[in-house]
Structure 1
Amino acid sequence: MKQRSFLLYLPVALLLTPFFLAPMAVIGTESFSGQHGIGAEYVKVVTDQGIRTVLYNTFYVAAMVTILSLLIGYPIAYVLARLKGRWATIGIFLIFLPFWASTVIRSFAWMILLGRKGPVNSILLGIGLIEDPIRFIDNGLGLMIAMTYIMVPFIVVPILNGLRAIDPNLPRAAAVLGANPWRQFLAVTLPLSMPNVAVGCTIVFVTSLGFFVTPSLLGGDLTVVSMLISEQANRLLDWPLASALAIIVLLLTIVIFALLRLSQLASRRRGKARSGVFA
């Protein structure tokens, strides 16, 4: 039986080995081949102020996009979880509709929308909320808006699955015990959906770390690590430094997923312990 289950992993292993593991091994080897000695590129990443600033910008943008995506995505998922039949299908269709256009097209669309003479500034000027056009592009604000728009579906789906998996009798039981709708949400729905919230936030955060097209078009002087890697590899031809940056981002991603997995295991242990106490 164990041998058969092992065979199920074979297609995945055959796919990952030539297209992921082998290239990462080459990049890892390249990162130690700098002219200044083994590991010098990693030391440079840690000590160079410019690189540290780029890493800070990357994590700051990823964190802000994750927070904004959660604030927008959770209410959307909450409403979708309560829709039935045709309306639920239409709602899910609208969530996935942006995927019909590529990230490049959507980023260019936001460049037009957020331009100084674009529709957003025109509307704000027309209704008198502002006197001068707001600079959305080339300062990070437009970048976060565009990235949040792109990432919201990635956080809606896991949260929606978690909300739909909650037994509807639990909020009803809370209502019978005297809890108002807001109390039901805080005491029952929100805690039970937190594992899926953690999954969605992790997906958004990790994906945001590797964004390249949208920061290149809307980021302006705000440089993120993907842009720095591209510059080092393509323009400066400093492959060891570019490889070191790529390995560091990969390791940070692995750490984030490992922490998520550990938190899930700890949550399951606490759940089993509580069920054992009440049993």
Structure 2
Amino acid sequence: MQDKGLFTSPDVQREERKEHLTMVLLLTPALLMVAVLLLLPMFWLGLQSIQGEDGFSLANYTRIFTEAIYWDTFGTTLQISLIVTVLSILLGFPIAYAAARTSGLISSLILLCVILPFWTSVLVRSYAWLVLLQRRGVVNQTLIDLGIISRPLELVHNATGTVIGTLHVMLPFMVLPLYSVMKKIPNDLLLASDSLGAKPFYTFRRVFLPMAAPGVMAGSILVFVICLGFFITPELLGGGRTVLVSMLVQRNVELYHAWGAASAVGLVLLAVVFLIFWAVNKVIPIERVLGVR
């Protein structure tokens, strides 16, 4: 006697095919949007990057890996992105911790202060920092009045102003992932650690911090990757002296009309981002960082 459980009836097979077809039809608009808005532009950039005056050429990529200006630009971009990411962790972790461990009005006020900058244009915030940090700005004038410094500090049109303005824009992107992870940490685990005689710092280091690590990693990836392609704030506060990759792409297009060079720079930057994701995945699986089980 044959086991009927080993076979699937034609009606069941027909329903499964119908369900698969329905899923494909539902996914088709999203797949078309990805193809039109992402894959086709990348394909166009790839073609532009290998076109020379006489046809196929790798000259654009050769310049990136041989000329000092490209190495300096990529190095400056990575350095500023790393500095902003580290500062975002140092500043964002206490803010997220305070918001997650408190409740009611205090937690809501902390989150409101974090989200409030999103309601203001990045351009407006960058100009505001330009006014605050200039030689006769509020920051320098206050420091002089307090007797801390004798002459104005150079806080804009350099890497310092770029880091300060970029950090202000990126901080919410660190706080929100941290908060979402910290809020899910069971308080019972912390109470159990305390009841077993662990000191608060030991509980924080051995219980709370490891469970908050995915939030730190998620926020760090988000901040670092956005910083790699950030443009408005570095352009204004850097004053043209601190050149990042995004500014190099813009100058290749607007000043030299070199679409091939700009495309090559953009694709190399994209490769760097994929390399970062690959390296992070080796340390902590991306599924854990994204909270996917």
Q: Flag whether TM exceeds 0.5 (same fold).
A: yes
Counterpart in the other structure of 1:173: 192
Counterpart in the other structure of 1:209: 228
CA contact under 8 A between 1:199 and 1:260: conserved in structure 2?
A: no
Alpha-carbon offset, residue 171 of structure 1: 1.0
Counterpart in the other structure of 1:76: 95
Measured against aligned partners, the alpha-carbon deviations of 1:138-172 in whole angstroms (never above 9, x if no partner) come to 12101101100110000101111111111111111
Alpha-carbon offset, residue 258 of structure 1: 3.2
Alpha-carbon offset, residue 197 of structure 1: 0.6
| SS, match of residue 223 in structure 1 | coil
| SS, match of residue 116 in structure 1 | coil
Alpha-carbon offset, residue 3 of structure 1: 5.2
Which residues of structure 1 form unaligned runs of 5+? 269-279
Counterpart in the other structure of 2:76: 57
| SS, match of residue 165 in structure 1 | coil
Counterpart in the other structure of 1:258: 278
2:125 matched to 1:106? yes
CA contact under 8 A between 2:162 and 2:234: conserved in structure 1?
A: yes
Counterpart in the other structure of 2:238: 219
Q: Aligned-residue CA RMSD in angstroms?
A: 1.8
Which residues of structure 2 form unaligned runs of 5+? 1-18, 289-293
Amino acid corresponding to residue 243 of structure 2 in structure 1:
T
Counterpart in the other structure of 1:42: 61
Work out the CA distance in 2 between the residues paired with 1:138 and 1:104.
16
For 1:83-122, list aligned pairs within 5 A.
Answer: 83-122=102-141
For 1:114-153, list aligned pairs within 5 A.
Answer: 114-153=133-172
Counterpart in the other structure of 1:21: 39
Name which of structure 1's ranges 34-43 and 14-23 shifts more when overlaid on structure 2. 34-43
Rate the CA distance shift 1:185–1:49 in 2: closer, same or farther, 3 A. Answer: same
- TM normalised by structure 2 equals 0.87
Alpha-carbon offset, residue 116 of structure 1: 0.5
- TM normalised by structure 1 equals 0.91
Alpha-carbon offset, residue 71 of structure 1: 0.5
Alpha-carbon offset, residue 263 of structure 1: 3.5
Aligned partner of 1:161 among 161, 180, 195: 180
CA contact under 8 A between 1:80 and 1:88: conserved in structure 2?
A: yes
Amino acid corresponding to residue 155 of structure 1 in structure 2:
M
Counterpart in the other structure of 2:30: 12
Whichever of the two has the greater Rg, that structure is: 2
CA contact under 8 A between 2:280 and 2:286: conserved in structure 1?
A: no
Measured against aligned partners, the alpha-carbon deviations of 1:171-206 in whole angstroms (never above 9, x if no partner) come to 111111211111111011111111111110000000
Alpha-carbon offset, residue 38 of structure 1: 2.1
Amino acid corresponding to residue 42 of structure 2 in structure 1:
M
Alpha-carbon offset, residue 2 of structure 1: 5.3
**Residues paired across the two proteins, number:** 268
Rate the CA distance shift 1:6–1:252 in 2: closer, same or farther, 3 A. Answer: farther
